[in-house]
Amino acid sequence: MLLSRVVKRAILLTTLTSLGLVGCGQESPPTTATTVSSDTTGYNLTLDTAEFMAHVLEPIADVLWKSAGWILDENEGYYELYPTDDEGWINVDNHGAMIVEAGNLMLLPGRVLEGPWSTYAQATSTVGRSIMKAAEEQNKEDLFQAGAQLYSVCTACHQAYNPDILSRFQPRSLTE
List of residues contacting ligand HEC (CB under 6 A): 49-50, 53-54, 57-58, 61, 106, 117, 120-121, 124, 150, 153-154, 157-158, 161-162, 165, 168-169, 171
CB of 116 to ligand HEC, least distance (A): 8
**At 71, which helix (H) or strand (E)?**
strand 70-73
Q: Nearer Cβ to ligand HEC, position 36 or 57?
A: 57
CB of 80 to ligand HEC, least distance (A): 22
DSSP letter at 85 equals S
Q: Nearer Cβ to ligand HEC, position 13 or 108?
A: 108
CB of 71 to ligand HEC, least distance (A): 19
State the CB neighbour count (10 A cutoff) for residue 76.
8
Contacts of residues 158-162 at CB distance under 8 Å and 24 or more positions apart, as own/partner, are: 160/115, 160/116, 160/120, 161/113, 161/115, 161/117
